[in-house]
Structure 1
Amino acid sequence: MKVLSWNVRGLGKTQTVNRLKNSLRRSNPQVLFLMETKLNARRMERVRHMCGYRFGVDVGSVGSMGGLSIGWKPECDVRLLSYSQFHIDVVIQESETLKRRFTGFYGRPAERDRDLSWNLLRQLHSNQSMPLLVAGDFNEIMYSYEKKGRRIRPERNMVRF
C-alpha cells in the first residue's frame, strides 16, 4: 500500500493543485493525506476528485488554519474510525489477513496547546493492536538541530513530543 502525506500549505492556487497532480502522477499512491489545505470541506472535495480520489473524508479549515483531507482509490478498502480538526483516523484492509491503521495528523500550531495534540495521539492509539502509521505535520521537532532560524526551541517541548 502506497501512501502520500503532504503539507500543501494552501490549495487555493491553481499552481499548487497542478504541482500536487504532477506529484501524484509520478508516485501513484493508493491513499493520499493532505494537511493545511486552508480550504473548506466542499472545495477540498472538488480538489480531491480532480486528483483522482473519489472516496475520502475532508475536514474544512477554521479560518486560515488547518484543513485536512484523506482520499483513496476505489480498489482500497478503507473504514473511517474518527476525525477532528486535527486528525483523520482510518483502518486500511489490505488483504483478508492484513489490516493497517493510518492516522493523518495535524498538531496544534499554538505552542501552549501542544499537550492537547500529544494527548489526542495517546487517546487514539492507547489500545493499538494492528500495524500503525501516523503521518502529518506535528508542528514540533524532535531535536534542536532540526530548527533553522528564529528562536531556539525549549528542550522540554521536544521531550514532551
Structure 2
Amino acid sequence: MPQSILPTTEVIVAADCWQEQPEAEAVIQRAIVAAAETVAADVGEAEIAVMLTDDAGIRTLNSNWRGIDKPTNVLSFPALQPTGPRDEDDAPRMLGDIAIAYETMRREADEEQKPFDHHLSHLTVHGFLHLIGYDHETDEEAQEMETLEREILAQLGIPDPYADRERMN
C-alpha cells in the first residue's frame, strides 16, 4: 500500500495569550497527522493554516463570516478546490484555515476538567474534519463526525470528549 502524503500545517500565533502554551504547535501537528492518517484522507500535497487567536479575533471572524457576533472555540474555513486535473508542477493545494480562540478554549477545558492539550487536540481534529468535508448540521452527520473524532483522539491517547455528555442523557 502506498504511503499517503500528509498535509503540511503552518501554525500562526496571532495572540500573545498563546505564549503560555509553548507546546501548542506540536499538539496541533500531532492532531492533524492523526486525523489525516485515520480518515485516510487522500489530500495529496496540501497545506493547512492554523491561526491561534484570542476571543476578540475569533469574534471578528465569527461576525464577518457567520453573522454571529460572539466568540467561539474553533472556526474552519475550507478553501475552494480546483476542479481541473492537477499537474505535478502545481503548488500544493490549500485545504483551508482553522482558527482557535485561546480564552474560550481555556475556559471550556477548565469547566470540563480536561487537560488543555486534550481540548486543543479535539478542536484541531474537529476543524480538520470540517476542512475535508465533514459537518454536523444533521444528527446523522454529527454522529459520523463525533465517531471519527473519538477514533482519532483515542489514537492520541485522549479520552472520549463526549463521554460526560452521554452519561448525562
- Taking structure 1 as the reference length, what is the TM-score of the superposition? 0.29
Greater fraction of residues in helix:
2
Larger relative contact order (CA 8 Å, sep ≥ 6): 2
Greater fraction of residues in strand:
1
- Taking structure 2 as the reference length, what is the TM-score of the superposition? 0.28
